[in-house]
Amino acid sequence: MTRCFEELAAGDVLATLDKGIITPAHIMRWSAAVENWHRIHYDQPFAREHDKLPDILINGSWKQHVLVQLMKDGLGPDGWLWKIQFRYKRMDVAWDALKGRAEVIEKREADGLGFVACRIALVTQRDELSTAGFAVGVLPLRGGRAVPYPFVPKPDYPVFTAPAD
Amino acid sequence: MDKAENYASYQGMEGAPQVAAMPLERDTLRRFVQAVMDHDPVYYDEEAAAASKFGALTAPPLYPVHAFRLPADVPDPLEAVARDANADGTAGIMGVTFGLPPIESPYRRLLNGGNEIEFYRSLRVGEKAVAHPRYASVVLKEGKSGAMLLVTVETRFTTESGEPLLLNRQTLIWR
């Protein structure tokens, strides 16, 4: 889905992303894909007894990629995710379900491009805040030039202030 | 008592560039995007990728952070797990400091204080990522629950020819 800057306003939901229930198999698949052998992600007795965790943990590194995907998909193929920042607010464990949401909070034009600042979050099935953050995407203006790729930011591009979590 | 000057020498310290052991391969990419559950065709469909702004099969934007795998000719990090019930499985892993010398401190508990990332371009199949790490900031703080060391590791990721991929600033909190 292509998107242009004028289609969005502050308060709009840019994107949602539902990853469903994350089982131990999902966590193991991610750990294997990135070759992360930390036992808190697949060895339940180690996680519980050694590290005193409630269960094996969903990897923070996986949650990062989900937030990036959330923004990338929301901006569409003509957009570019320029900046993202996030902080983990809780430890998510196996059998938690995670959903992402990106909401437009501010937009500005510069250099013939549209800059969209978003509040981003991952929440659990119990509406607990898992990960909170802020992102800036770049979109073409309606009828305007394409967002350059590779994206080389200029010093006078807008600076947005991240909201409180 | 710990002092800020104990950490002054780390401020701004740069590490040697780290080159990924292997270029990005299609099968590695397939397993990676299946694990993220991101089905964007630019990751696996050559025609779709060629018609996109990427021009070729490409990895998700944040992939370069995970491009640094153990080469085949180093000791097996899981041997420690077989020998030691307390080993956590991370021995030999590059982690988030990408070869920077560890900071000597009395603190043992590590928390992730968050990340700030800027993206410029995605890594293509066949390319190797290069990490250029540095300690951007090392600050000793006194909090209500005692002293803590706030460390920001700033890592630039590029291609081997120096094209910027992304910039990752990760804050580590040692208590």
Domains of chain B: 4-174 (3.10.129.10)
Tally of CB atoms within 10 A around A12:
14
- Interface residues on B facing A, Cβ-Cβ cutoff 8 A: 31-32, 34-38, 40, 52-54, 60-62, 65-66, 69-70, 77-78, 81, 85-86, 88-90, 93, 112-121, 163-164
pLDDT higher than threshold 80 for residue B154: yes
Residue B94 clears pLDDT 70, i.e. is over it? no
Q: Please state the pTM of the whole predicted model.
A: 0.95
pLDDT at position A100, please? 98
Mean pLDDT is lowest, of A87-101, B38-52, B88-102, for: B88-102
Q: What are the helix and strand counts (H, E) for chain A?
A: 3, 5
Report DSSP letters for B103-135, one per residue. PP-S---EEEEEEEEEE--PPBTTPPEEEEEEE
Q: Which domains does chain A have, with CATH numbers?
A: 5-21+59-140 (3.10.129.10)
Contact B114 A33 (CB under 8 A): no
Task: Provide the token pair at A46.
Answer: 């180690």
What pLDDT shows up at residue B70?
A: 85
Using CA coordinates, name the residue in chain B closest to A40.
B88
Which DSSP helix (H) or strand (E) runs through B139? strand B129-143
Residue B93 has pLDDT above 80, yes or no: no
Return the beta strands (E) in chain A as ranges. 13-21, 80-88, 97-110, 113-124, 129-140
**Residues B79-96: what's their mean pLDDT?**
82
The pLDDT, as a whole number, for residue B6 is 84
Which value, in Å, is the radius of gyration of the alpha carbons in chain A?
Answer: 18
How far is the alpha carbon of A42 from chain B, nearest alpha carbon, in Å? 11
CA distances to A67, A80, B43, B167 from B59, in Å: 15, 14, 6, 16
CB contact residues (below 8 A), chain A span 86-115, against chain B: 86-88
Question: How far is residue A112's CA from residue B42's CA, in Å, rounded to a whole number?
Answer: 26
Cα separation, A86 vs A39, in Å, equals 24
Contacts of B37 (CB under 8 A, 6+ apart): A19
Secondary structure of chain B: what % helix, strand, coil (to 5)? Answer: 20, 30, 50
Task: Please indicate whether residue A71 or residue B143 has the higher confidence score (pLDDT).
Answer: A71
- Asked if B2 and B9 touch (Cβ cutoff 8 Å), the reply is no
Mutual orientation of helices B26-36 and A24-33 as an angle, nearest 10°?
Answer: 150
Interval B22-64: pLDDT, tens:
999 999 999 999 999 999 999 999 999 999 999 999 999 999 9
Asked whether the bond before A150 is cis by omega within 30 degrees of 0, the reply is yes
Q: What is the pLDDT of residue B112?
A: 84
3-state secondary structure of A66: helix
DSSP-H helix ranges across B37-126: 46-51, 79-83
ipTM metric: 0.96
